[in-house]
Copies of this chain bind each other. A is one copy, B any other.
Amino acid sequence: MTPLSSLGEFGLIRRLTAGLEPQNASTLKGPGDDCAVLSYGGRQLLLTTDLLLEGVHFDLVYTPLKHLGYKAAAVNFSDIYACGGTPRQLTVSIAVDRRISVESLDEFYAGLRLACQRYGCDLVGGDTSSSLTGFAISVTCVGEAPEDGPVTRSGAKDTDLVCVSGNLGAAYLGLQLLEREKKVFAGAKPDDETAAQPDFSGHEYLLERFLKPEPRRDIVEALAKAGIRPTSMIDVCDGLSSELLHLCRESHVGCRIFEERIPLDYQTALCAEEFNLNVTTCALDGGEDYELLFTVPLAQHEAVAALDDVHVIGHITRPELGPVLVLRGGAEEVEIKAQGWVAEKATAPDGAPAAN
């Protein structure tokens, strides 16, 4: 028998979904992008789903249930925005064990409702069931594609500019902070109250980025307002490297990214130093930032440069040049790989929403 580790997540998904031929005219696009694309009554719809498990995708030791509900919805909205769409309907199924009280679920639903209200999406169904093994959450979102069709991962062209919103690596460092305090807490004596109080002061932004990510509707709206249609787009859930590789593979192009242009928050840089981590590695491989990575034609350089919170980090190249990172200073270049990801996590595929 072949262990799953031999394929990795994306290889596994490609194997399992190989050769699927749609039987219905309403199916425009199956697995392989942020969302599936459906067509009904002349409208194009987006469909995306996520399965989140306690102990794998979240840790209830440091994740407030309200934040968890918010994030469970937000990461699905992010997939819809990554196609340039608008989230409209959400279903949420949960499985809970006996530790969970009614009040805890109220909190979880308060978070879900808040995210739905903020992003204009309706919570339309789901189910609850029991679990023997912790909290499990399944979320599905239906969205409306833009009138000129969904933005995909496959439209990037040679010379296009590569852009990313916000900043990267913050969520990963937020997670490191929480994991560190969890260990400290676990090692504290039960009667030592001072030792058990985590001190997150100065790091609030990083925690917020990890615990309560905001999907970038504002960027989708700003692009539309500026009349810019990205040639390709993806949300940054697994880290910049992994998403760049998706865009390059699906678009059959290479890219040239400049390390010094990768946007970083000051807190991210400080905290990386504290952990003795290379901050660029945090941005490249950290994941869970839920920023938007997209490409636009070179001719739109001025328009895109004028947008708030959007950063041009490089450009698309011919496929034979591959995905390249130009290191700080410009003297050295390295191939972009999904560093650490395949090696560390391929023993079991990771929880990132890969197929869509």
Contact = CB atoms under 8 A, between A and B. Distances in A.
Nearest to A17: B123
Interface residues of A, number: 89
A97 to B, nearest CB: 7
Given A53-B136, A122-B30, A4 B127 contact: no
Interface in A94-136: 94-98, 100-106, 109, 113, 116-117, 120-134, 136
The winner among A27, A42, A129 for most chain B CB atoms within 10 A is A129
A148 to B, nearest CB: 16
Given A121-B23, A126-B355, A127-B356, A16 B51 contact: no
A3 interface: yes
A53 to B, nearest CB: 5
A146 interface: no
Q: Is the interface of A mostly helix, strand, loop or mixed?
A: mixed
6 contacts: A1-B101, A27-B88, A40-B41, A126-B356, A127-B351, A133-B134
Contacts of A20: 113, 122-123
B1 A352 contact: no
Contacts of A132: 53, 55-56, 133
A9 interface: yes
Contacts of A144: 26, 40
